[in-house]
A and B are shown apart, each in its own frame.
Chain A
Amino acid sequence: MTFLASPLAVLEIACALLSAIILIAYLVLRPPLVRATKLWLLLGLGVFPIGAAFAGNVQGFEATKERAFCGSCHVMALHRADSDDLASASLASRHARNAMFGRENCYVCHANYGMFGTIVTKAGGLRHVWLYLTEYRNIPVEESKKTIRLREPAQMNGNCIQCHSTEDTLWLKVPDHRALLDDVRVGRISCASEGCHGLAHPFFQAPGAGEKK
């Protein structure tokens, strides 16, 4: 019953229940359409459903950030399993064990940053749904590993840099960081490349290898 921890989920269920009671009562009792009936129907068809939709939409948008949501498409099963694995040493799993990322580690690392980051990310998510329906729905996980790629691998460093500032003295003390500073900042060299910190999802191919999806 984890959904009960969210006030929005409770609000949605409460609004939906109140609305359902009014609507079922109307369908069973069939009262005449007098002013009182209209007011009850306004609550049952307008006020409470709008409340349920509002709470549900916000709750839904929050749900789309969770790893369980991303991993609910079968082609993401390996990614999810790796992040869930407490013994895994992959970048994704290590970040998932960090409270800043936690259950939302897919979203935190892959969301576009900037002013319209959330909107761009949601639009990208719809693209994922389209690709899933048209290309990946019946593809086995092992087969999908060969074709799934980052669409904009150069952008990924920007997400790393949000936390791992390239201005920090400790970071700059590392000779490789200092030598590759400009390349890292513009995304010419990926933080998660094999020569640096390793692939975020080690069972997948390096970003940029092959066709983009």
Chain B
Amino acid sequence: MSVRADRWLTAACVSALAALALMTWQIFDPTVWPVMVAMSLGQVLGTASLAAFGYVAVADFRARRRADIEPRPGDPD
């Protein structure tokens, strides 16, 4: 895994943990601000983390495919 992908995944995990904390907060304190924050910032962070994971997964898939297609030294012609 590249350093860049590792950073993206770390950011995604931290972002998702923050989103989950915000979304769970509203259960324990169902007042205006926790509910509003959960439904706005919580959703944005959660969606961003999933998007980051999707980006890394697709990039990794493409990199592997490229590596499979490119001829390696010693491969028969």
Residues on A with C-beta less than 8 A from B38 are 56, 60
Top 6 closest pairs, chain A to chain B, by CB: A72-B31, A63-B30, A33-B1, A16-B20, A56-B23, A45-B53
Contact B10 A69 (CB under 8 A): no
Contact A68 B31 (CB under 8 A): yes
**Given B6, B20, B32, B43, which contacts A19 in the complex, CB threshold below 8 Å?**
B20
Supposing A26-B9, A45-B53, A69-B32 touch, asked if A19 and B24 sit within 8 A by C-beta, the answer is no
Which residue of chain A has its CB nearest to the CB of B31?
A72
Contact A44 B13 (CB under 8 A): yes
Q: Does A184 touch B at the CB level, under 8 Å?
A: no
Contact A60 B39 (CB under 8 A): yes
Give the interface size bracket for A toward B: 35 or more
As a 0/1 sequence over residues 88 to 127 of chain A, the CB contacts with chain B under 8 angstroms (1 = contact) are 0000000000000000000000000000000000000000
CB distance from B33 to the nearest CB of A (A): 8
Contact B23 A52 (CB under 8 A): yes
Contact B32 A52 (CB under 8 A): no
**Given B10, B23, B28, B30, which contacts A27 in the complex, CB threshold below 8 Å?**
B10
Which residue of chain A has its CB nearest to the CB of B5?
A33
Known: A12-B23, A63-B35. 15 other contacts (CB 8 A): A3-B27, A16-B20, A19-B20, A20-B17, A26-B9, A27-B10, A27-B14, A41-B9, A46-B50, A49-B19, A50-B46, A53-B42, A56-B26, A63-B30, A69-B32
Secondary structure class of chain B's binding surface, majority of residues: helix
Residues on B with C-beta less than 8 A from A32 are 1
Contact A16 B23 (CB under 8 A): yes
Q: How far is the CA of A27 from the CA of B6 in the complex (A)?
A: 10
CB distance from B38 to the nearest CB of A (A): 6
Find residues 1-53 in chain A having any chain B CB closer than 8 Å to their own CB: 3, 9, 12-13, 16, 19-20, 23-24, 26-27, 30, 32-33, 38, 41-42, 44-46, 49-50, 52-53
Residues on B with C-beta less than 8 A from A12 are 23-24, 27
Secondary structure class of chain A's binding surface, majority of residues: helix
**Given B9, B27, B36, B46, which contacts A53 in the complex, CB threshold below 8 Å?**
B46
Find the residue from A13, A56, A72 having the highest chain B CB count within 10 A: A56
As a 0/1 sequence over residues 52 to 93 of chain A, the CB contacts with chain B under 8 angstroms (1 = contact) are 110011011001101011001100000000000000000000
CB distance from B42 to the nearest CB of A (A): 7
Residues on B with C-beta less than 8 A from A33 are 1, 5, 9, 56, 60
CB distance from A212 to the nearest CB of B (A): 22
Find the residue from B24, B33, B56 having the highest chain A CB count within 10 A: B24
Contact A53 B23 (CB under 8 A): yes
